Structure 1
Amino acid sequence: MQSLYNNPPKDGRVICLDEFEPLSIQPFAGRGWFVKRKPSRLPATYHRTHGVRHLLAALDLKSDKLYGHVSNSKKHQDILRFLKVLRRRYHRSERLYIILDNFSPHKHERVRNWAVENNVELVYTPTHASWLNRIECHFGPLRKFVLSGSNYENHKALGDAIRAYIRWRNKHRRNASLLREQKKIKVV
């Protein structure tokens, strides 16, 4: 895996893929831009009546672009759907080297068969070493800039905020505060 990072293959791209924690509609403590003396207050209690969602995310190391999809679940069908979307972004002759952890849906037979048929090589991190996946350091800034100090009304609003953040992040990849947050999470 380290060789994929240090010496990317000439015949394709290295893409890091992972899921970001269950997203629930709840107040998140944190700092925000509040009018002096009249900050929005977070409720003391909340009820999880909306269920949870999952962010499937990928980072193209060559272009340094982040991609994401909010999903109701993270079963092998969801992973496969996201992989198909990623595959369509690149020419079929370009091999995709997808780095992911040992989560069982990543290793499902349908996912592995699809990868073989579509010029995709699945590269798994060692067990208990998901920190080797370079996408991990991008979840810290997402947590800070989207979740911290928030209280979204529903999953649509949360999903819209995540998509807006990803668009902003891809346009401002060298932003100092973004890079500072990324460096807080150590990945190889």
Structure 2
Amino acid sequence: MARRPEVFVRQVSMAEGQRLQRISRTAKDPVKLRRAIVVLMSAQGQPAPDIAHLLKVSEDYVRDVIHAFNERGFDALDPKWSGGAPKKIDDQTRSWICVIARCDPRFLGQPFSCWSLAKLREYLIQEKVVSSVSTETLRRILHERGVSWQATKTWKHSTDPDFHTKLQAVLDLYDHPPTDGRVICVDEFGPLNLQPRAGKAWRPAGQPVRLRATYTRTHGVRHMIAALDLATGKLFYRIRDRKRWREFLDFLKSLRRRWPEQKLYVIVDNFSPHKRAEVLTWCTTNQVELVFLPTYASWLNWIEAEFAAVRYFALNGTDHQTHGEQDAAINAYIRWRNQRAQPKRAFAPDSKIRHPDYTIKVA
């Protein structure tokens, strides 16, 4: 078989050679870099088969690059991306697909309450919205149009007729702590059961932590009552077997002993033990002012975020066998947390609750 004649680039000037060397050192695009190296090696007298062997490409590719450079010069080094195949589904149909995906399937006569990609694909083809489409294309269309798979969330209205007044009172305490006292957020956390709790951890792929699935609750439950001091950011707590008004009053007395010289502004929810007559009487005579949250607005209590952290870092992923063991885990986390605590400032500064027209529909 006759050997094909060798192909080399045309005579390259000194300036062109320097430009090729610069491109081969600095080009970010791998296609442009490879083409520049082909041209530079050919200009140095290396034949196409040797260049192809060194760059792990075909000889035809090397010859095509050389011919293109001889015809168009440096313009031949830049890749001309075609942009891929044209879309088979036009923009109007894509928008209609997203509208259907956001609909409750039952409104469209389907016997299920949510779409899967497979069910959505079958419906679109059946209703002739598209002639054919893959589930992966559907996923990409929905993603591009900002439609994502989300969990359903609940909401409720606050039925408190003084919602705005109470909301503003709490926000004022957060924003402008009184100079004559201390703002404390108090709430109960629990019940503290002894049970395996789901959690997350960094593990080798395919090797999750395993916890027992069956268990019996033979040790009863306990309850934690805690206070968040906004001036220092520290948590103070007690764990008790009950959460009656007596336990709540004892906890208030412990707070009173901790800051004997200051008036305490205690933000609490509308749990009935908080409004017990004995509790209110003691607060009146001991410079403790209970600031009640609006009904169905426990999210306004700053300590709720701290409880979420306690649950996540001290309890999730655990399977404590005794209350003592579980109490020790909670204590260790809160002690670690308090060592790093910072004063609490700027509660939800950009939240919609700061808007003067905020309604009583709360998430």
**Cα distance between partner residues in 1 of 2:202 and 2:283:** 45
Tell me what 1:15 maps to: 184
The alignment's TM-score, normalised by the length of structure 1, stands at 0.87
Matching residue's letter, 1:164:
A
Structure 1: gaps spanning 5 or more residues: 175-182
Would you say the 8 A contact 2:198–2:316 is kept in 1? yes
Over the matched positions of the two proteins, sequence identity in percent amounts to: 51
Shift of 1:63: 1.1
Question: Whose strand fraction is larger, Structure 1's or Structure 2's?
Answer: 1
How large is the RMSD of aligned CA atoms in angstroms?
Answer: 2.0
Q: TM-score, normalised by structure 2?
A: 0.46
Which residue number corresponds to residue 323 of structure 2?
155
Is the counterpart of residue 30 in structure 1 residue 199 in structure 2?
yes
Larger radius of gyration: 2
Report the equivalent of 1:121. Answer: 289
Could you tell me which residue of structure 2 aligns to residue 98 of structure 1? 266
Equivalent of residue 50 in structure 1, options 199, 212, 219: 219
Asked whether the equivalents of residues 232 and 341 of structure 2 are also in contact (C-alpha less than 8 Å), the reply is no
Compared CA separation, residues 55 and 33, structure 1 to 2 (3 A): farther
The unaligned stretches of length 5 or more in structure 2 are 1-169, 343-347, 354-363
**Aligned 8 A contact 1:32 1:148 in 2:** no
* 4+ aligned runs moved over 6 Å, structure 1: 33-39
Task: Give 1 or 2: higher helix fraction.
Answer: 2
C-alpha deviations, 1:6-63, integer Å up to 9, x for none? 1110000000000112110000011246799986531110101011111101000011
Aligned residue in 2 for 1:171: 339
State the Cα deviation string for residues 124-163 of structure 1 (Å, max 9, x = none): 0011111111101101110111111100011111111111
Distance 2:209 2:172 in 1: 48
Amino acid at match of 2:177: P
Aligned length: 176
The SS at the match of 2:192 is strand
For residues 323 and 201 of structure 2, the distance between their equivalents in structure 1, rounded to whole angstroms, comes to 20
User: Secondary structure of 1:21's match?
Assistant: strand
- Aligned residue in 1 for 2:251: 82
Within the alignment, does 1:141 sit opposite 2:141 as a pair?
Answer: no
Could you say which structure has the greater relative contact order, defined with CA pairs below 8 angstroms and 6 or more residues apart? 1
Indicate which of 292, 298, 312 corresponds to 1:130. 298
